[in-house]
Structures are given as C-alpha cells and as structure tokens.
Amino acid sequence: MPLFAASDHRLSSSDRVFKLVALIAAVCLLGFIVFVAVRGPSKNNRVAGTAALEAPPPAVLKIGAVAPLFSLPRLDGGAPVSLAGFRGAPVILNFFASWCPHCRTELGAIAAVARQASGHITVVGVDSNDTSSSAAASLLAGAHATYPVGVDAHAKVASEYLLSALPVTYFLDASGRVVGAELGAQTVTSLEHWVKRLTTPPS
C-alpha cells in the first residue's frame, strides 16, 4: 500500500510540473504574438511597402495664386517669351525638357490642343534645365508644335513654380491666376478637359 501511495505522489508532482511548463510556454507565445502585432511591419517593409503612401505629394502653386511672371529667351531665337504678354486669355503653361521621357510622350498632345484651341487658349512651353536647345527644338518640330517656347536653362522659373520633376503643366485664367496644375504626361483628353474648364464662363 505505501508503495502505491508513493508512486501516486510522484505521478502527481510530475503532472503539476508539466502543467506549469505548458502554462509558461503558452504565456510566452501569447506575449510574442502581442509584440509582433503591436510593433507592426519591420522597417524594411515600411520603406518598401508604404513609403509611397506616406510621402507628401509634390508641391505646386496654390489655386488662386498669381502665377510668377517671367521673360525668357525664345527657343527659336525670336522675341522673348513674356508671360505678361499673354494676359487677357487663359494660358496652358507646360514645363518640359528634351531629356525627359514623359515630356516627349506628351508634346504631340499639347501641340494638337494648341492648334485646336487657338484663339481661345494660349499654350506656352518652358524648356527647363535642358542641356541642349537643339534637341528641344528637334523634339518640338517632330511634334509639330508651333506655340511659343522659352528657354529656362538654369531652371530659375521652374523653381519659382515649385517644380521638383518634369513634366508639369499649369493652367492659368485670363488674369494670370492659377486654376490648377497637373504632374506627369498629359493626353489630348485631359487637356481638352482643362480647355473646357478655362473657357467656360463662371455660372
């Protein structure tokens, strides 16, 4: 009888130790899960996965702001391109460069809309931070662009318009105030939307 009693006691003690170890392991596992959930994604995952969502959009001039005036040498060597000289009509102001792939993509659309809207809208180009005026001239000729283009060789005007990349297109009303801005290559459809907006009288 004492033998069986001693054996039962040893089994009971072992059972209690096993349960204690299992409990500690469960608590540690739960703590690890909570830690991972609270910590969120790793630094590498944050940079790769959400940096684009957290980054602020590029700066542009505020709607209603008076567009900075400029006078630039004309790309084809004619009279200077002066923004003040276009007051009285809405203006599509396109900043581009010959080295910019997206700029090359959109020039045909800008040239087409400039022809379509002639007499209602003035299109003005600014060749900014370009190393070769001849390359820009060739690019414009290939797009059949005949609108005035000023040369902003050192990107001084681009800086006044808060540009950090190209292309950027500003849309100005007849008084020279900013109605809106678009970053990236434009299409005929997107430009026609702006032409309609600029030429529709306020209700």
Any residues with CB less than 8 A from the CB of 19 and at least 6 apart, and which? Answer: none
Per-residue confidence (pLDDT) for residue 201, from 0 to 100: 85
* CATH code for position 185: 3.40.30.10
Could you tell me if 35 and 131 lie in one domain?
Answer: no
CB-side exposure of 61: number of CA atoms within 13 Å? 23
Class of residue 153 by CB neighbours under 10 A (exposed 0-12, middle 13-18, buried 19+) = middle
Lowest mean pLDDT segment, chosen from 2-6, 83-87, 186-190, 195-199 = 2-6
Could you tell me if 48 and 89 lie in one domain?
Answer: no
Residue pair 171/181 in contact (Cβ under 8 Å)? The answer is yes
Could you tell me if 84 and 181 lie in one domain?
Answer: yes
Q: pLDDT digit string (tens) for 26-39?
A: 655 655 454 434 34
Q: pLDDT digit string (tens) for 32-61?
A: 454 434 344 444 433 334 344 556 678 899
With respect to residue 59, please indicate whether it lies within any of the assigned structural domains.
no
The Cα–Cα gap between 177 and 62 comes to: 9
With respect to residue 35, please indicate whether it lies within any of the assigned structural domains.
yes
With respect to residue 159, please indicate whether it lies within any of the assigned structural domains.
yes
Q: pLDDT digit string (tens) for 100-133?
A: 999 999 999 999 999 999 999 999 999 999 988 9
Relative to beta strand 168-172, strand 178-183 is: antiparallel
With respect to residue 60, please indicate whether it lies within any of the assigned structural domains.
no
What percentage of the chain carries pLDDT values higher than 70? 72
Could you tell me if 79 and 178 lie in one domain?
Answer: yes
With respect to residue 30, please indicate whether it lies within any of the assigned structural domains.
yes
Look up residue 187 and give its amino acid.
T
Per-residue confidence (pLDDT) for residue 27, from 0 to 100: 58
**Which of 54, 80, 98 lies at the terminal end of a domain, its last residue?**
54
Could you tell me if 130 and 91 lie in one domain?
Answer: yes
Rg (the chain; Cα; Å): 33
The Cα–Cα gap between 177 and 172 comes to: 5
Distances (CA, A) of 130 to 40, 59, 64, 96: 44, 21, 29, 9
The Cα–Cα gap between 185 and 70 comes to: 23
